[in-house]
């Protein structure tokens, strides 16, 4: 069966047209952000520099791509049309007249659709895992830096023990398929996913313990929402069937949290040791504030700049790491549309067809670039503050 092709101009216009929900969302968000940037705090300050604007645009582009993936992608990312095997960019599918804008891969799947749906996997795992790693690192790093002594010695030893282990080998051990047959990933998930609940409970208790009307509401919401998410993530027992994570994604999630938490711990510990010597901390101690109040409401807000920058960079590192794991065929299912797996599948046929490797590679590179630009802009703003 003869396959028709559209030209380069048609491909470009087709890609731009498929992203129409993303362009619309970007226009609304950026227009609102520019209008009210003076009222948006640190986020609004990002629009004072070209680097910050570029970082925001790139990150928002992939965020909205992940959100509107089902509207942007013209085909099922796992769907196979045999006639489109190794089709070149711009190939027109004979039956539906749909266009494989970036061509087809060796299994006759639409490369453009797989790239679009691959953004969902990256933008779910990388930021969420980084957020949990921040919760673990902050919850342990604050008391280690503030109290010092034996608490600092024990926690620092454990952190250094994990950091001393080669990262790639650590991930290889934690994401091999056989480990899902053991209770190790679920036990680690059960431990790590407790930290956000503990963090917010202590946060609200130290702040509102003398205002029970507000305390009970916030504590109740924390336990309710936290318990709901906890049941869904750890036990896959969400009664509403909303919170769910596949076993292959769970072990990657846990591995990222386990490997990233010691780095966050060391940053928080160092910042705490520095900030606790400041005059406003001494003033809080003189007022009789409890240590946890001082850590959470005096020290942590003043450490937010470096932590936000580190979070952006860490999401980028995690994205690269997910791509590396996918390239080696670890963690996610072989048919997964994540960018690392797509690059691995395409790399085997580079001498014959180069077009399947370019879209996921450029997508991965651009998203990490956006995060690095965002981190640079945030670093500049934190230095001004």
Same domain, 318 and 221: yes
> Can you give the pLDDT at residue 215?
93
Q: Is residue 336 part of a domain?
A: no
> Can you give the pLDDT at residue 384?
67
> Can you give the pLDDT at residue 1?
58
Same domain, 109 and 138: no
Same domain, 76 and 156: no
Distance of CA 195 to the CA centre of its chain: 18
Domain count, the chain: 2
Q: Is residue 345 part of a domain?
A: no
Same domain, 318 and 179: yes
Q: Is residue 346 part of a domain?
A: no
- pTM for this structure? 0.87
| SS (HEC) of the chain | CCCEECCHHHHHHHHHHHCHHHHHHHHHHHHHHHHCHHHCHHHHHHHHCHHHHHHHHHHHHHHHHHHCHHHHCCCCCCCCCHHHCCCCCCEECCCCCCEECCCECCCCCEHHHHHHHHHHHHHHHHHHHHHHHHHHHHHHHHHHHHHCHHHHHHHHHHHHHHHCCCHHHHHHHHHCHHHHHCCHHHHHHHHHCHHHHHHHHHHHHHHHCCCHHHHHHHHHHHHHHHHHHHHHHHCCCCCCCCCCCCHHHHHHHHHHHHHHHHHHHHHHHHHHHHHCCCHHHHHHHHCCCCHHHHHHHHHHHHHHHHHHHHHHHHHHHHHHHHHHHHHCCCCCCCCCCCHHHHHHHHHCCCCCCCCCCHHHHHHHHHHHHHHHHHHHHHHHHHHHC
Contact (CB, 8 A) for 22 and 72? yes
Same domain, 19 and 103: yes
Q: Is residue 347 part of a domain?
A: no
- For 132, half-sphere exposure in the C-beta direction (CA atoms, 13 angstrom radius) is 27
CA distance 110 to 135: 38
The residue with tokens 């309710």 is: 224
> Can you give the pLDDT at residue 169?
76
Same domain, 234 and 363: no
Alpha carbon dihedral 24, 27, 32, 37, in 10-degree steps, equals 140
Q: Is residue 343 part of a domain?
A: no
Contact (CB, 8 A) for 242 and 236? no
**Which residues does 335 contact at the CB level (< 8 Å), separation at least 6?**
78
**Structural domain harbouring 8:** 4-117+353-383
> Can you give the pLDDT at residue 25?
96
CA distance 173 to 182: 12
Q: Is residue 34 part of a domain?
A: yes
> Can you give the pLDDT at residue 385?
58
> Can you give the pLDDT at residue 294?
95
- pLDDT, averaged in runs of 10, over the chain (385 residues): 82 94 96 90 87 94 95 91 87 86 89 93 87 93 94 94 81 75 84 93 92 92 92 82 78 87 94 93 92 94 88 86 76 79 79 84 92 88 67
């Amino acid at each position: 069966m003869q396959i028709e092709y559209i030209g380069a101009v048609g491909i470009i216009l087709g890609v731009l047209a498929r992203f129409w929900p993303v362009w619309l969302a970007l226009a609304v968000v950026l227009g609102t952000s520019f209008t009210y940037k003076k009222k948006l705090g640190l986020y609004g300050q990002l629009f004072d520099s070209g680097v910050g604007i570029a970082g925001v645009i790139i990150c928002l582009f992939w965020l909205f791509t992940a959100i509107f993936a089902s509207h942007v992608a013209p085909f099922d990312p796992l769907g196979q049309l045999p006639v489109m095997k190794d089709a070149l960019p711009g190939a027109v599918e004979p039956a539906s007249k749909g266009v494989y804008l970036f061509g087809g891969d060796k299994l006759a799947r639409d490369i453009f659709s797989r790239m679009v749906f691959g953004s969902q996997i990256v933008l779910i795992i990388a930021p969420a895992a980084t957020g949990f790693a921040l919760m673990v690192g902050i919850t342990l790093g604050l008391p280690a830096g503030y109290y010092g002594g034996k608490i600092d010695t024990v926690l620092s030893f454990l952190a250094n023990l994990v950091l001393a282990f080669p990262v790639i080998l650590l991930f290889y051990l934690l994401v091999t398929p056989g480990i899902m047959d053991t209770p190790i990933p679920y036990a680690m998930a059960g431990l790590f996913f407790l930290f956000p609940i503990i963090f917010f409970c202590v946060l609200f208790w130290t702040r509102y313990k003398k205002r029970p009307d507000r305390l009970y509401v916030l504590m109740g919401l924390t336990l309710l929402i936290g318990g709901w998410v906890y049941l869904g993530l750890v036990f896959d027992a969400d009664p509403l069937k909303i919170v769910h994570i596949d076993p292959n994604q769970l072990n990657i999630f846990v591995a990222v949290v386990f490997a990233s938490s010691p780095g966050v711990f060391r940053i928080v510990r160092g910042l705490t040791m520095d900030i606790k010597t400041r005059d406003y901390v001494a003033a809080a101690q003189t007022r009789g504030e409890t240590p946890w109040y001082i850590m959470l409401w005096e020290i942590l807000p003043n450490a937010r700049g470096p932590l936000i920058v580190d979070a952006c960079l860490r999401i980028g590192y995690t994205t690269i790491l997910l791509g590396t794991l996918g390239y080696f065929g670890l963690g996610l299912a072989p048919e997964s549309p994540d960018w690392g797996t797509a690059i691995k599948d395409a790399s085997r046929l580079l001498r014959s067809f180069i077009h399947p490797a370019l879209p996921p590679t450029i997508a991965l590179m651009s998203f990490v670039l956006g995060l690095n630009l965002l981190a640079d802009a945030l670093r500049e703003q934190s230095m001004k503050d």
